[in-house]
Amino acid sequence: MPPNDTPFRSGDPIAKGYTVIDILGRGSVGTVYLAEDFSKKFIVAIKALNPGLISSEKARELFLREARIWLSIESHPNIVHPFGIVRDGDNLFIIMEYIAPKMRGESSLAGYLSTTRKLPVCRILTWTNQFCEGMKHAYREGIRAHRDIKPQNIMITRNGFLKITDFGIASVHPNPMPEEDSENPIPSCVRNHDALTSAVGTYLYMSPEHYRNPDLCDEQSDIYSFGIVLYQMVSGGSLPFLATLPSDRSREERDRFISDMKRLHGEALPPMTGSPLDNIIQTCLAKDPSERYGSFEDLQKDLNDQIIIHNCPPPETDEPWTVQRPEKDFVRGLIYFRHSRFEEAVSAFDEAEEAGYYSPELVAAKADCLASLGLVDKALWYYKNKLHERDQDPRLLYGRGMLLAKLGRHDEALKSLVPGMANLYTDPEFREMYWEAFVQMAEDPVVRPVYAHLLDTPFEEILKTFFPSVLPDRDSSGGRRTGERPKGMSLDTGSPDLPEGSAAWDHYASMQRGENDGIPESALTPNPPQSSLETPDTKRSSSSVIDRIYKKTMRYLRPYRHFPPPDDSKAISRSRLFRRNRGHK
């Protein structure tokens, strides 16, 4: 059987007590499965040696030894927790903590790098600080070197907490040249560097001494590998060193690629990115280990200086790896939901709610499950009850709007979505939610022009279109009143995913620096005071304001109700399509 073939499929029993739900990932050494225990109450990740290595006694011994080293590390919040080793005949399995993905599917740093143009500095500093904490703990516990630090082995929990995985496992393979993942052939690397397979990916992050002799790897080798990762974090995913990728699967091409990468890591200097972290990156990537940081503790000291300089909140370092039972039921429900096991998902969500767990995402997922089961009226009634219980929570209105949009009930969907749009530029959580919504619904004929408009339109123009009542009045001289910088906002945290260089980004950045062109604080608060929504002559209730915004939005969208789908072959951007349909050249 070829090395990357696996006998386990969805529904198969595995590791003496679990059932496979899905395959999370494959590499040259092993396959990681998503699995549940037979009681369907506990979700885990299970790593197994690939069948091609099971027959190798040396591979099994090394796999077992490295797994035991990982298990010997005392539990730490920044390290993925292994529960144990299971032997089933010649098969070996590592049972480990499962990191559930967020809405867009990100559960690792690689996922974030592939879906986010540029990470905010404060988020980078938080994650790098947590990474240092995890590595410091591992070394104290006796780990000599991780040897496979890369974005795919850096997990991010649903609440944004970093965890390191795969300690030492990459060094198990008896062949120093890992085989390529058959399901992700090398040409895919050209399209997305962050989706590199383990075959190519390992060489992108190896230190010069790792190329010469893996036995020479130590903490400073790991610091070099992490320097590559840090470079990607500040550059939006770009790599400092990348040789011409193999043109085919031949041994000659792979050898040529390895030779080129070895030369680049040994000789090439990393380009400067313009980031305030450039000096830290340059030190991490020094060719001579003696010129790098001596330890992750030394690296962390410079990172802490940057945290102070950028006025970032102190990194959290004390989150327990354990998750409370109601949240486990919620995550279990999400997994069933994503695998179209809707009845089981509803049951898990019910158990979480009975235990007192609540989140808008739970409500949205449960309603989607009900709708998928054909119980649309029940799903909308469920939303109605939750909106009543939660005092018309805008996040629930957002979820209800998304469900209605999926059902094709666009007018009702927009009426539910519009109220929350006032929070787009003042509440980071709302920005993330709505940008994800518009990205997901970009092909919808009603939503597409709104999405294009939000991406390419300056902030004040958005207010003028959707919320004219909150625009500032002119002062006696005809100029705009000077506004204050919105509280709790900075260029480093909560930035919307706008194209850098676009008018929208420039306007947003100037607003964040306090140059908000006279837009008052009252216009930028998540819930503007009633006075800011009133004119001297007319008082409006909040419901009438929402109705008015909705009507104006619908008038604005009416010409685009039959907006044609974009033709990718013409390479016309959404913004150009939008301006063309608005009558602009």
Which domain, by its residues, includes 246?
A: 13-309
- Here the tokens at position 405 are 């949009």
Are residue 304 and residue 399 in the same domain, yes or no?
A: no
The pLDDT value recorded for residue 168 is 56
Pair 554, 407 in one domain: yes
Domains: count for the chain: 2
Listed residues 291, 309, 327: the one ending a domain:
309
**Is 584 exposed, middle or buried (CB count within 10 Å of its CB: 0-12, 13-18, 19+)?**
exposed
**Claim to verify: residue 300 and residue 436 sit in the same structural domain:** no
Q: Is 133 helix (H, G, I), strand (E, B) or coil?
A: helix
pLDDT of amino acid 328: 80
Which of 524, 522, 528 is CA-nearest to residue 508? 524
Residue (of 53, 51, 27) closest to 198 by Cα position:
27
Report the pLDDT value the prediction gives residue 1, as an integer from 0 to 100: 38
Same domain, 96 and 230: yes
Q: Does one domain contain both 249 and 128?
A: yes
With respect to residue 106, please indicate whether it lies within any of the assigned structural domains: yes
* Among 338, 336, 340, CA closest to 352: 336
pLDDT tens-digit profile, the chain (585 residues): 344 455 788 889 999 989 999 988 887 778 899 999 887 778 899 999 888 788 888 888 888 887 888 888 988 999 999 999 998 888 889 999 998 887 666 789 998 888 766 788 999 999 999 999 999 999 998 888 998 899 999 999 888 899 999 875 433 333 333 434 433 333 333 333 333 334 444 889 999 999 998 888 899 999 999 999 999 999 989 999 999 988 888 889 988 999 999 999 999 999 999 999 999 999 999 999 999 999 999 999 999 999 999 998 876 655 544 455 677 888 889 888 888 899 999 999 999 999 888 888 899 899 999 999 999 999 999 999 999 888 778 888 888 888 887 787 866 877 787 776 666 555 655 655 665 555 555 555 555 555 555 444 444 454 454 444 433 443 434 333 333 333 332 333 334 444 444 444 444 444 444 443 333 333 333 333 333 333 333 333 434 444 444 454 444 444 433 333 333 333 333 333 333 333 444
In a domain, 354, yes or no: no
Q: Does residue 6 lie in a domain region? A: no
Q: Is residue 365 part of a domain?
A: no
**Is 165 strand, coil or helix?**
coil
Q: What is the DSSP letter of 254?
A: H
Residue 574 DSSP SS3: helix
Report d(CA 335, CA 37) in Å as an integer. Answer: 14
CA dihedral 119, 122, 128, 129 (to 10 degrees): -160
Res 248: pLDDT: 86
pLDDT at 441: 52
Question: Which of 254, 276, 309 lies at the terminal end of a domain, its last residue?
Answer: 309
Give residue-wise pLDDT tens across range 60-113: 888 888 788 888 898 899 999 999 999 888 888 999 999 888 766 678 999 888
Please tell me what DSSP assigns to residue 477: T
Q: Could you tell me if 410 and 271 lie in one domain?
A: no
Quickly list DSSP for 270-308. PPP-S-TTHHHHHHHT-SSGGGS-SSHHHHHHHHHHHHH
Choosing from 309, 330, 362, the residue where a domain stops is 309
Question: Is position 24 within any domain?
Answer: yes
Question: Taken in order 534, 535, 538, 544, is the CA torsion positive or negative?
Answer: negative
Answer yes or no: do 73 and 173 share one domain.
Answer: yes
Q: In sequence order, what DSSP letters do the residues of 177-236 get, joined into one string?
A: SPPPPTTS-TTHHHH-GGG--HHHHHHHS--HHHHH-GGG--HHHHHHHHHHHHHHHHHT
- Is residue 4 in a domain? no
Radius of gyration of the chain (CA): 26
Decide: 96 and 83 in contact? Cβ < 8 Å: yes
Q: Which of 437, 426, 424, 368 is nearest to 398 (CA)?
A: 437
pLDDT at residue 2, as a whole number: 40
Cα separation of 37 and 375, whole Å? 29
Q: Which helix (H) or strand (E) holds 25?
A: strand 18-26
Q: Residue 110: which CATH number? A: 1.10.510.10
Residues 289 and 409 in one domain: no
Q: Residue 26, SS3?
A: strand
> Considering Cα of 516, then 518, then 521, then 524, what sign does the dihedral take?
negative
In a domain, 169, yes or no: yes
Find out whether 514 and 485 touch, Cβ atoms under 8 Å: yes
Please, how many CA atoms are within 13 Å of residue 405, restricted to the half-sphere of its CB?
24
- The residues with which 85 forms a beta bridge, in sequence order, are 94
CB atoms within 10 A of CB 346: 21
Q: Could you tell me if residue 376 is inside a domain?
A: no
Kindly state whether residues 397 and 289 are assigned to the same domain. no
User: What pLDDT shows up at residue 317?
Assistant: 57
In 3D space, the residue among 239, 145, 235 whose CA is nearest the CA of residue 200 turns out to be 239
Mean of pLDDT over the chain: 72
Same structural domain, 466 and 563 = yes
Is residue 367 within 8 Å of 399, Cβ to Cβ? Answer: yes
8 Å CB contact between 546 and 538 = no
Question: pTM for the full model?
Answer: 0.65
Considering only CA atoms, which of 232, 231, 228, 259 is closest in space to residue 243? 259
DSSP class of 487: T
Long-range contacts of 209-217 (CB under 8 A, 24+ apart): 209/289, 210/147, 211/261, 211/262, 211/265, 211/266, 214/147, 214/171, 214/176, 217/144, 217/145, 217/147
Residue 293's identity, in one-letter code, is: Y
Please tell me whether residues 449 and 554 are part of one structural domain: yes
Residues 30 and 141 in one domain: yes
In 310-420, where does DSSP find H-type helix? 325-338, 342-354, 360-372, 376-389, 394-406, 410-417
Tracing tokens 């927009």 back to the chain, one arrives at 414
C-alpha closest to that of 507 among 457, 579, 463:
457
